[in-house]
Amino acid sequence: MIKAQIPEIKSLLSTPKSIVIVPHKNPDGDAMGSTLGLYHYLKSYNHNAVVIAPNDYPDFLKWLPGDDKVLKFESQQEESKTLIDNADLLFTLDFNAFHRAGNDMAEVLEATKATKIMIDHHQQPDDYATYTYSDVSMSSTCEMVYNFIEMLGDLNKIDTTIATCLYTGIMTDTGSFRFPSTTSRTHQIIGNLIDKGANNSDIHNNIYDTNTYSRLQLLGRAMQNLKVIPELSTAYITLSQAELDEFNFKKGDTEGFVNYGLSLKDIIFAAIFIENKQENIIKISFRSKGNFSVNQFSRAHFNGGGHDNAAGGRSDDSLEATVEKFISILPQYRNDLSQTAQIGH
């Protein structure tokens, strides 16, 4: 769709504009990589651009170029609101429904008169944007931002800074280039980004090898809590608030834990349930292999969504009640979760 609209977007961007770029709440590597990559690109045209994240993000993303310029809506509401109210253009990246920015920020996004551009790879996009670039087959929003810059005829504008941001998001959203959404084109783009100056080894190191001791201890506890339901090819992990406190939990510490469940032989569905006493919810991550859609599962039962093989959700029940509900629902999916239903088996 967006290709035909590129001339209009090009003309919009031909004079300096006030531009706000927003990732989803609890931004991950793709959300921050794509918003900052786009930010540096727009800055190179002297636009008055700013990234406003709904809330804070993990320390392992805080080395990204431009991190020090990012506003956090949660702690800088007035300034953020003024910028969004007065923006000419609003880019929403790596999400496709305003509520994914959190309820307070969603209200402000809904109210602004700014022209809206969505770039996103999640399922079932809302239709708030004037220009919607939505493609669920894409590995990452960062890959789409690369395509967007290419469609604008500006690949030569990608410098080391932009390349570093985009490399980061493609890497994190593809599980370091291993998920099925990783295509030869993804690798070609990654190759181009390395040619533009992205340092693959440094980026991997900054993201994956900056653990704290307490995070690894928390991982140890999560592994002890891992439960397997072999007849339904399912594994799940729980972490209570007390356990998080015991290991000095910081934002981002549980990132990737759910994948350990999925790394078990013959397991095709994995979940992690994390208690958050402050928000009074259980935050859930779902992952799957093959045809079992965790997006549909989460939408149907846990107020969430995402992709076919990676989705999030939440529950207002207690940790125990949430897990009980999960276990009680699973048998409905016995056919989908049986080994023979899966490719490769």
* Residues of the shown chain interacting with ligand 5GP in the complex, contacts defined by CB under 6 A: 24, 100, 285, 304-307, 310-314
Least Å from the CB of residue 314 to ligand 5GP: 6
261 binds, among Mn ion, ligand 5GP, none (CB under 5 to 8 A by kind): none
Looking up tokens 């800074």, which residue turns up? 161
Asked whether the beta carbons of 218 and 237 are under 8 A apart, the reply is no
Instruction: Identify what 304 binds: ligand 5GP, Mn ion, none; CB under 5 to 8 Å per kind.
Output: ligand 5GP
Angle made by CA atoms 89, 68, 313, in degrees to the nearest 5: 70
Tell me whether residue 169 or residue 337 sits nearer to Mn ion (CB atom).
169
Q: How far is the CB of 114 from Mn ion (least distance, A)?
A: 22
- With CB under 5 to 8 Å by kind, the binding choice for 143 among ligand 5GP, Mn ion, none is none
Q: Does the protein bind Mn ion through residue 120 (CB under 5 A)? A: no
CB nearer to ligand 5GP: give 146 or 297. Answer: 297
Q: Count the helix, strand and coil residues of the chain and give each as a percent rounded to the nearest 5.
A: 45, 20, 35
CB of 311 to ligand 5GP, least distance (A): 4
Residue 173 interacts with Mn ion (CB under 5 A): yes or no:
yes
Q: Is 30 in the site for Mn ion (CB under 5 A)?
A: yes
Distance between CA atoms of 307 and 286, rounded to whole angstroms? 10
How far apart are the C-alpha atoms of 34 and 193, rounded to whole Å?
Answer: 13
- As given in the structure block, the two tokens for residue 313 are 């959700």
Closer of 138 and 267 to Mn ion (Cβ): 138
**Angle between helices 103-111 and 77-85 in degrees, nearest 10:** 30
Residue 308: name its binding partner from Mn ion, ligand 5GP, none (Cβ under 5 to 8 Å by kind): none
**Helix (H) and strand (E) counts for the chain?**
14, 12
Nearest distance from C-beta of residue 315 to ligand 5GP, angstroms? 11
Cβ 181 vs Cβ 138: under 8 Å:
yes
Binding segment toward Mn ion, per CB under 5 A, in 6-14, 136-144, 201-209, 244-252? 136-144
Each residue of 264-276: b (16+ CB within 10 Å) or e? eeebbbbbbbbbe
Nearest to 168, CA basis, from 129, 146, 124, 200: 200
**Beta-strand relationship, 131-134 and 269-276:** unpaired
Angle between helix axes 184-195 and 141-151 (nearest 10 degrees) is 70
- Give residues 211-270 in contact with Mn ion (rule: CB under 5 A): none
Residue 275 found at the interface with Mn ion (CB under 5 A): no
**132 vs 141, which CB is nearer to Mn ion?**
141
CB of 258 to Mn ion, least distance (A): 16
| Closer Cβ to ligand 5GP, 290 or 313, answer by number | 313
With CB cut-offs between 5 and 8 Å by kind, which of ligand 5GP, Mn ion, none does residue 306 bind? ligand 5GP
Residue 125 binds which one of Mn ion, ligand 5GP, none, with CB within 5 to 8 A depending on kind? none
Tell me how far, at minimum, the Cβ of 159 lies from ligand 5GP, in Å. Answer: 27
By beta carbon distance, the residue nearest ligand 5GP is: 312
Count of Cβ atoms closer than 10 Å to residue 280 Cβ: 8
Helix, strand, or coil here: 97? coil
User: End-to-end CA distance of the chain, in Å?
Assistant: 37
CB of 264 to ligand 5GP, least distance (A): 18
Q: Looking at the DSSP assignment, which residues form a beta bridge with residue 71?
A: 52
**Cβ proximity of 207 and 60 under 8 Å:** yes
Least distance from Mn ion to the Cβ atom of residue 141, Å: 5
Among 94, 143, 253, 275, binds Mn ion (CB under 5 A): 94
The site for Mn ion (CB under 5 A) is made up of 30, 94, 141, 173
